[in-house]
Amino acid sequence: LIVVYPVEDEHHLTDKQGRVLPDAYLVPKGSTARDLAYKVHTDLGEGFIRAIDARTHRVVGSEYKLKNGDIIRIVAKT
């Protein structure tokens, strides 16, 4: 298993006291960005458009293989 962190806003990962806000999800090694979207909520998985790596601010696709410690924003149509 690896740990990944889905976030709503890749620019604000902490609150005013510096506490890390994102939830942590344990997913099997080899999981994709779309797999993470489904794990967070079925609607995110079904409406998946793209994901954004919060560290690099690069767009990654649905088949992007998650790495341990990734911080990912899911963009989906709702």
Q: How confident is the model at residue 15 (pLDDT cuts 50, 70, 90)?
A: low
Look up the CATH number of the domain holding residue 49: 3.10.20.30
- The dihedrals phi and psi of 20, each to the nearest 5 degrees, come to -70, 130
pLDDT above 90 for 19:
no
Mean pLDDT of 11-21: 70
Q: Which residues contact 64 (CB under 8 A, 6 or more apart)?
A: 32, 33, 51
Condensed to tens digits (0 to 9), the pLDDT of residues 31-78 reads 999 999 999 999 999 999 999 999 999 999 999 999 999 999 999 997
Q: Is residue 27 part of a domain?
A: yes
How much is the pLDDT for 58?
96
Does 43 reside within a domain? yes
Count the domains in the chain: 1
Three-state secondary-structure class, residue 60:
strand
Domain that holds residue 35: 2-11+21-76
Instruction: Answer whether residue 16 is part of any domain.
Output: no
